[in-house]
Amino acid sequence: MAWEFSTDPDYEKQLAWVRDFVAAKIAPLDLVLGSPYNKSDARAMALARPLQDEVRLQGLWAAHLRKELGGGGYGQVKLALLNELLGNSRWAPSIFGCQAPDSGNAEILAHFGTEWQKQQYLQPLLDGTISSCYAMTEPHAGADPALFTTRAVRDGDHWVINGEKWFCTNARWASFFIVMVVTDPEVSIYRGMSIFLVPAGTPGLEIVRNVGVGGEPEDDWSHAYLRFTDLRVPADHLLGEPGDAFAIAQTRLGGGRLHHAMRTIGQVRAVLDMLCERALSRRTRTGLLADYGTVQEAIADSWIKMEQFRLLVLRTAWLIDRTNDYRSVRKDIAAVKAAMPEVFHDVVLRAMHIHGALGVSTEMPFANLLIQAETMALVDGPTEVHKATVARQLLREYEPVSTLFPSEHIPTRRATALADLANRLEHEVVNS
């Protein structure tokens, strides 16, 4: 068995192209355009479409999907390396056709959609002509499905939905919504929840208000508080079978958490670049910032934490490729999710501090990045929940002792060792 930390040479060439392409042609869009999810912005689309065509020519469009769906059919390791390069640009994922939440919604439709659903919703999503929204969390329950109350009741050839959803990303731009609701409150939540496709504009669907994060200007607010009031959706808009919500959701979330993590690493690496540049550029009365031991420590700690986290993510991606089973890698995925916001936050905070007043100003990105770090600690389940998952999964690998003292109790082990050595010594004496 061999361990390998290098990248396939042909794919490395593609990654080099991506690195240059993002820096030269996509990153400038972040500074002058609005939301990449607003497909009605003709000016933005006129700039984005030719870039998307270049990505398609490179065979990198929607790389997370199977080849028969127009994707690259790449494994998680290759996707992780790609997403690392896309992470530092708001527009890059959309130019490469792998933007969340659309990428996860496309995976759901690819795995569980009927032919009609795929034609109606998946194909336009793959073509990049529409945006979508995933509506799961609720204002009183957060991400805990056991507390969800949004309900769908069967009425002839339709389902009637009532309830509220919270922090639904890109609702204002979405052409359709994927909505998780309770369909049978009398059984376990693992069998009593279902997922529906709800077209935008359906009577009874209300965006109560759009919500921003941190100090975002109102035009950029991209999350929504939704209300469903006697909304009727045809029975053929059910995804999978009634009660399939959890299986469907896990298909969406497993790989998505890894992609979030690698995009975060791309952002952390960019922040470390800013930190090092500042350390070498800013002078004090006694020399460069880079000459101070505290600054050197901040740089070293940031790089070490970033590289440790990157290896954890890549190892988890490798395990998924090897097992093709997200459930068997549940502990590792949870560990990635739990570690991500801490690494992100700590590196950003060090860079902000070393930039002084400029660091906390709106002329540098650090304040927004700190909010992003905390956002990553909450989306797809809060950090505490994922740490609990890691602990429970680890504890399954152990057994309690039935003795008074622990198994590593030194006096007990010494007595056992002495008895064993005495037996062996006696055996040697007899043999000699």
| pLDDT tens per residue across all 432 residues of the chain | 567 788 889 999 999 999 999 999 999 999 999 999 999 999 999 999 999 999 999 999 988 887 777 677 788 999 999 999 999 899 999 999 999 889 889 888 988 999 999 999 998 998 889 999 999 999 998 878 889 999 999 999 999 999 999 999 999 999 999 999 999 999 998 899 999 999 999 999 999 999 998 888 888 899 999 999 999 999 999 999 999 998 888 766 666 788 889 999 999 999 999 999 999 999 999 999 999 999 999 999 999 999 999 999 999 999 999 888 888 899 999 999 999 999 999 999 999 999 999 999 999 999 999 999 999 998 888 899 999 999 999 999 999 999 999 999 999 999 999 999 988 877 776 676
Inter-residue contact 36 to 94 (CB < 8 Å): yes
Give the closest residue to 75 by CA, choosing from 11, 4, 22.
11
State the pTM of this model. Answer: 0.88
- Neighbour-count burial of 381, counting CB atoms closer than 10 A to its CB (0-12 exposed, 13-18 middle, 19+ buried): buried
Q: How far is CA 51 from the centre of its chain?
A: 24
Token readout for 110 is 């690819």
Report the distance separating Cα 359 and Cα 249, nearest Å: 39
Q: What CATH fold (topology level) applies to the domain 9-113?
A: Butyryl-Coa Dehydrogenase, subunit A; domain 1 (1.10.540)
Q: Which of 214, 221, 195, 62 is nearest to 135 (CA)?
A: 195
Tokens of 78: 């290759």
Strand segments, DSSP code E, in 106-185 are 132-135, 151-155, 158-169, 176-182
CA distance 412 to 415: 5
Domain ranges of the chain: 9-113, 132-239, 246-395, 402-432
Q: Looking at domain 246-395, which CATH architecture does it have?
A: Up-down Bundle (1.20)
Q: Which amino acid is at 407?
A: S
Domain 132-239 sits in CATH at: 2.40.110.10
